[in-house]
Amino acid sequence: MPSFSHRAGTSAPLSWIAAALVAAFLCVPALAVMPNEKLADPAMEARAREISKELRCLVCQNQSIDDSNADLARDLRVLVRERLVAGDSNEQVLAYVHDRYGDFVLLRPPVTGYTALLWGGPFALLLLAGLGTALYMRQRRRDVETMPVPTLTAEEEARLMVLLNEDKSGDGR
């Protein structure tokens, strides 16, 4: 293991401390389900863990209740296990929790018109902005192409010829 100490040749107690801290932080999610929450039946416990992985911790927001250490997540894990012990199927447990907490509690919420709008809205706005820009640029190009070229009056042409002839004569102005 590489040494994290600043001086070459010294022992590496700092690297051992760093490794221990990393290992401790990596073990934290494993401690989310407390031993007193586990069911005696391994098949029932596996179902509870499967359901818990589909439910969002309302405190942590992007963690499942299976991975979260929050008190609310613990309460929801206990609720899931109680519903399973009462004889509910996985779908019934999910429906029970969904009825009480809404779509947000599901890590994979159902696709509805509202969620489709949330996911598709930004892309639709980007498409509309691109289309609007393309139409604007096309219209500008047409306006420039159809714009009449101004003609010079006889007096302006005479003045232009005088200026051009002066420049050719080498006055150097």
**pTM reported for the whole predicted model:** 0.52
Q: What is the pLDDT of residue 159?
A: 92
For 55-111, write each residue's pLDDT tens digit: 999 898 789 999 998 999 999 999 999 999 999 999 999 999 999 999 889 988 888
List, in order, residues 6 or more apart from 131 with CB less than 8 Å away: none
SS3 for 11?
A: coil
**Which band of pLDDT confidence, cut at 50, 70 and 90, is reported for residue 128?**
very high
CA distance 97 to 58: 12
* Higher local confidence (pLDDT), 19 or 78: 78
What's the Cα-to-Cα distance from 102 to each of 6, 73, 81, 83, rounded to whole Å? 53, 15, 19, 18
For 22-55, write each residue's pLDDT tens digit: 666 555 544 455 555 677 788 989 999 999 999 9
**Cβ atoms of residues 109 and 103 within 8 Å:** yes
